[in-house]
Structure 1
């Protein structure tokens, strides 16, 4: 018998770790080659990880809600052939995306105000636990008091649920931070939120009410959008653009474009191309903010907010738009939109955005007030194109 380590596969250039959502097998179960063994989640998408070997599952190195780094073993399989030594599998594994993408997630570069739950000292908190703590307004000092039942005493989802059930009768924990410890305005704001004790909203009993828990993606969207509003001051400017020439041009070439390129050309790639060109004149809208540092991006990676059939949102990213013509952008837009609706985006497809556009006109809206995808600094919302009388 040989014992083989199953390794967390690489899921994209920007993804370095994943949270185990559930195990498809139990200790002692037989596992077939390429059979799903765990379901994982990044902050972007949920995926299935298949086994790289056939054999019997003899060890689970991590449990549900634990975070596993890419390249780290998460299970041990006992196979028929070979020696008794444990062998690490380095063969790359395909990860199958299965469900529920979310709104563009805030990168780790900006640890911000609604994340009083960032890791403190030597204690590690998974993205899921941090998200739950952020939603429940749990300060880092309070989070540090929660006993963990996971590996290395980590706090798991179950620990959080038990704590939240008993939290109502327990006093809230507040923290006093000396002013000299706080170096930046961002840290001051984070400390202020961390020290503020907030209760959940008391919803009146109106009789016949159904309570439905948010799904995981909706919770993430709620947490990330709230965090963005508390991170940066949002100022919305409304400008009308005469689209007559654009509409007439598209109507005149769309059939020929379809025959020649095999692609439908919508207004979205046209607007994205215009955004990429505008960034050349206004490079400071294509930046990210990390504390008091501004990162000016050379590549124009435009996120395209897309509504999904289940009502959730996802923001796939068209990379290096400054190097693509309209045909290339159109193909990228159509490919990403199709795979987004089918739940087939890869984690790397929704990483690395530098500026975002969202089309609220899809729903017939004249205008909208979009929320910035942190740590970006700008987002463009396009309203419906409609005929208007002009003088």
Structure 2
């Protein structure tokens, strides 16, 4: 399936917390065909470090397809012969330097100054992200969605759709996400990642554009994130206590030197370096902040009252080995979702199973969408 990146622009987007209004541009991709009645749309929301490239390839020679290609496409679980599927780049997408990403964030040029916004960019919430998606759908003439679905941060967005636009959504699916942001998840990976970047001297208070970016802080932030999204079983199975270099030729013995490293250290760092070539540090800070601020509750509400607004069928798919969004959290929320369903699986590999082991929950997702 070959796909094309498209762009949505809004001249005066107003942010929820600050009330500030700025122009925004966001990229999106669409798969399948919109029906004449425009009533067959599914919105897929991407995860923390993801993009709108959820499925397909831009060219036949692309090394890899979109991140949920195993689920989205002709004849697949999210069947593009039946559904019109849309995925949108978030505000402050971390992958700012990826040529296939279109986003507005702290690395974007402020039209009033001609310089990057940096830390003058408005603090935003995931509710702002969802509101921007609603504006795009309005432009496409889509009033109602058959389903909103996403993994991780995408699942948080799905809950927000159900909370703030209950009349516009038939079904909600949150994969490895629960409708609360517990204090442990505020801290790890989000706030610790923010602080890791800010402690890098190259961060310069966020004004590093035109200078050396804070690569060390960003590297540490992403290591924290990757470690939190895996498990002891994953690390032990893949690396154990093996040395990075058993001959100690290229890397010293960690028992004799602080420069010595275990294989888990070098492999995690290698994975991070491959991914972060397109990352912008300030964009990471802002989207992490938006995750810490996730809250379905309105003024004066407790969580059960907020969840009562999600009157549509709502499916939570939870990996029992996930360290971030746990079965315990999902079970606490379930009684308060009027039409809630919980299904679990156990990859033993943690949060990222939502991307790399989709076969573990594909059948249950297909049954819910049927």
* Higher Cα radius of gyration: 1
| TM-score, normalised relative to structure 2 | 0.27
| TM-score, normalised relative to structure 1 | 0.26
The structure with the largest helix share of the pair is 2
